Each structure stands twice: as C-alpha cells, then as structure tokens.
Amino acid sequence: MNLAIRGRLAIYFDSNLKLHIIKDPLVLVEGNSILDIDSFSKLKKEISNHDIIGDENQLIIPGLINCHTHLAMTLFRGLADDLPLDIWLRKHIWPLEDKLQANDVYVGAKLGAIESLLAGVTTLNSMYWYPSSEAQAFEETGLRGMIGAPVITGIAELPEAIEVIEKHHNTIQDRLRVSLSLHSPYTVTIPDFQGANDYLKEYNESQVDKPKILLHTHLAESENEIEQSQKLHKEHGIEFPEVSTPTELLESTGILSEYLLAAHCIHVNENDIKILEKNKVRVSLNPLSNAKLGNFMPPVPKIITDISSVGLGTDGPASNNTLDLFDTIRFLALYYKGFLHNPTLIKAQEVFQLATIGGARALNWRGIGTLEPGSLADIITINLKKPHLTPKNLDDSILNHFAYAMNGNDVENVVVDGKVVVKENEILRLDVDQSINEVEEATNRLLS
Ligand SMILES: [Zn+2]
C-alpha cells in the first residue's frame, strides 16, 4: 500500500543544502521512497489507493538523525548523576556494564528505540556491547541506524568486531549498518586503531556501490585524554608519540579519513579543526551530554563553519538524560548565544540542517535527512496546533518554533523506510508498557 502525507507546511534541505518550504503540501510515498512532494492542489490527482496520514495542522519534515548514542543505556538513566565523566564511567557505569547480559541490552535498546521513534528520530547511531541484541531491537521497532562492533584494547578485539560486521552490516532491508566502534584514544591503543583502519580500508575498497563502514570513536571529550592515553600505552609497553592533543594523536596513527566519525570534539584547538577538516572527518556534536558531564563545550560555531559533515547526537540516555533530540536542538540553539554574548550565533535554520541533512552527511548515509523526491521515506509530522507552537502566521517562524519551542511530544506521525511506525502519537505493533517493565526488571537485577 502506498502512502500519502498531508500537512500545513513541509520544510527540508535538499542534498545541495537548498532550503525548501512548501505550503499545503502533499508527500507521495511509494515503497520505501518518496515519489513526489509538492502542493496538495498539484498532486491530489495522483492519490488513488493510498493510505493517508496527516492533516492541515501538521508540519512535515525529514525524520531526525541522532548521530551518537549508546542506546541500551536507558538501563542506567538517572542512576549516577552530577558526577565527573571519569568517576561516572569508572566507578558507576563500567561496574554495572560488567554484569550486563545480552537480554539486558536487547530490552534497553528496544526501549531506547521506542523513545527515539516517539520523539521523531528515525535514524540513530549507537555504540554499545552485545551488538546483536541491539540489531534485534532495530529489527523489531522499525528504526533505521547503525550499531557498533566494539573494539577496546584488552577487552574487545578486532576479530570479534569483524564477525559483527559480517553478520549485520547492510541487513534488515538495508535499514541496519555496522560501524567499527573504537571507544576512544584512551581505551584503544595506536596499533589497535591502525589494525582496525587497515581492515576498514580493505573492506570499503571491496564494497563497490555498497554502503561503506565507518570507524566511530569518542574524540577529545575530556581534558585529560592525552595523559590517560599515555598511561594506557605504558601499561601495554607501547611507545607514545610526541603529540599534544587527542586529534594530533589520531592523526599520527594515520586513521583520519572520510570514514571516521568523531563524537564530541570538545577539546580541539584551531589546528585540530584544520586537521579534521583536511581529512574530511565527520563529527557528531553532543552538547547536552557535554554540559551535564561538565566536560566543557565544543567550539560549535567554528566546527559547523569549517567542517562539512556535522550532525547532532544525544549521547547515551544516562548522560543526557533523554533520547529526545529536540532537547539537544534547543540547547545548542541557545547555549552559544549566551556563552559568547552573541544572539546571532547558531540560527534556527542551522540547527534544523544539523538535525536532518547534516546528520545524514555525518553518518555518510545517502537518501535520508531530506524530503526530496527519490530519497528514502523517513518522514515525521509535528502537530502545530499546540499552545506553545502558536502563532504560526509566518512560514519562517515555524523554523524558530523548531529550534526554540518544539519537543518530542509534539511529534504526531513517524514513517521509516516507507512504513508508518508511529501514528497519532501511538507506536504501532509494540507494547510500550511491556518494554518499560522489561527495563525495570533488568535494571533491578543489575543493581542487586
Ligand atoms: Zn558517547
């Protein structure tokens, strides 16, 4: 069955970054892609046996893209807050993760996927343990995205990661991809980064006309990464290069390329940004998590000007504490204005771009983050008939509402890969209460 979506307004960037605003729009979906988008009056004769969703109160936009999270950390939400990253990770999160079982990750990821879809996220990039459990959650919930094949020196080795790639990359009707997730420069040694990158280069060269794999890592998230990395290399008897920043460290390994997605990039200086730009590295900004963990803030105005593939991430729900990308959108749109005494920084249109087509570029995923004909049908509608989204008399005020007033609860319908997964605020085919109960049980067991 084909799908037709009606609305009051449709807004999207096309792949050339041109902004389109269509009044009284109709979107026609055939199979898993967008056949056409134009005004209702022009396209209405094309409607035949279509399922019709939406109405005159809906804003139609591309599904949002969450470029960096740890999906199953729904299990740990609210358990250890108001702590520095190092203590939070080493004293609270890692000991709990030691007790994780595959089913915990499955139930945690499934709830995270449900939360994300209800808030309008249609593609999500996760890095976590038990990737096959995460894959199952993606399959059952209908979400699109990328799971990580983890590599951490001495804990998770490359051969196991390769098995994950061979099993899951480009599966579930092309909705699921796998990244090589090398946690960070302070948990992965230089030879392990290089070994993974050699595999990646060979694999990607063999994938003619097929989706490539990305290498996904945390970069320059906290201030003392060089000292931590020096300690790690000393423990493994590996010589450490003469570098002063985590970006220089990764550059020295030769792994910087268009196939690297770097999350955070907080402690990067001007030269680091040049290095990232020169090597076409992709970046996920996660400002809410950065603020909460007191890691300082990335130089976002410079990053979005100088680097071409930048998207937004929530980071894990234990360090945010939600998977609602609207929280991150609003925070990003506001924070730098105040911090740098400049209300013209990071305009509404720019955050809209980062959350949609920017995310697609950051994940190197063609056909998402836009509504242009021929793209994949990942579409959300937002109900504008709300007190906090009134008035809406000017079309461009809607983008201001997007940046400064909307939240995930305003999302009314969600379509992923041409299939309706959320209809009138209700997630279809999944039992939300059961999913909540499963996570409560799993967390209780992990804490006991
Ligand atoms: Zn993270």
Q: Residue 212 is part of a domain; what is its CATH number?
A: 3.20.20.140
Q: Please give the pLDDT value at position 13.
A: 98
Residue 430 lies inside a defined structural domain of this protein:
no
Q: Please give the pLDDT value at position 360.
A: 98
Q: Please give the pLDDT value at position 328.
A: 98
Residue appearing with tokens 């220089």: 248
What is the pTM (predicted TM-score) of this model?
0.98
Interval between CA 217 and ligand 1 midpoint (Å): 8
Are residue 185 and residue 68 in the same domain, yes or no?
A: yes
Residue 356 lies inside a defined structural domain of this protein:
yes
Are residue 119 and residue 203 in the same domain, yes or no?
A: yes
Are residue 354 and residue 413 in the same domain, yes or no?
A: no
Are residue 388 and residue 301 in the same domain, yes or no?
A: no
Q: Please give the pLDDT value at position 333.
A: 96
Q: Please give the pLDDT value at position 429.
A: 86
Interval between CA 12 and ligand 1 midpoint (Å): 28
Which of 362, 382, 417 corresponds to the end of one domain?
Answer: 362
Residue 421 lies inside a defined structural domain of this protein:
yes
CATH of the domain at 38: 2.30.40.10
Residue 229 CB partners (closer than 8 Å, separation 6+): 185, 186, 240, 246, 249
User: Residue 123, exposed/middle/buried by CB under 10 A (0-12, 13-18, 19+)?
Assistant: buried
Interval between CA 316 and ligand 1 midpoint (Å): 6
Nearest CA among 184, 123, 183, 139 for reference residue 358: 123
Interval between CA 128 and ligand 1 midpoint (Å): 9
Interval between CA 387 and ligand 1 midpoint (Å): 35
Residue 275 lies inside a defined structural domain of this protein:
yes
Interval between CA 78 and ligand 1 midpoint (Å): 16
What b-and-e string marks burial along 355-375, b requiring 16 or more CB atoms within 10 Å of the CB? bbbbbbbbbbbebbbbbbeeb
Cβ atoms of residues 427 and 114 within 8 Å = yes
Are residue 196 and residue 255 in the same domain, yes or no?
A: yes
Interval between CA 247 and ligand 1 midpoint (Å): 17
Are residue 345 and residue 380 in the same domain, yes or no?
A: no
SS3 label, residue 27: strand
Interval between CA 234 and ligand 1 midpoint (Å): 25
Interval between CA 333 and ligand 1 midpoint (Å): 21
Mean pLDDT per segment of 10 residues, for the chain of length 448 residues?
94 97 97 97 94 97 98 94 87 92 98 98 98 98 98 97 98 97 97 98 94 98 95 97 97 97 98 98 97 94 96 95 98 96 96 98 98 98 96 83 97 98 96 98 94
The DSSP symbol for 315 reads -
Interval between CA 219 and ligand 1 midpoint (Å): 10
The CA-CA-CA angle for residues 184, 106, 322, to 5°, reads 65
Q: Please give the pLDDT value at position 86.
A: 84
Domain containing 196: what range? 64-362
Are residue 168 and residue 71 in the same domain, yes or no?
A: yes
Are residue 341 and residue 397 in the same domain, yes or no?
A: no
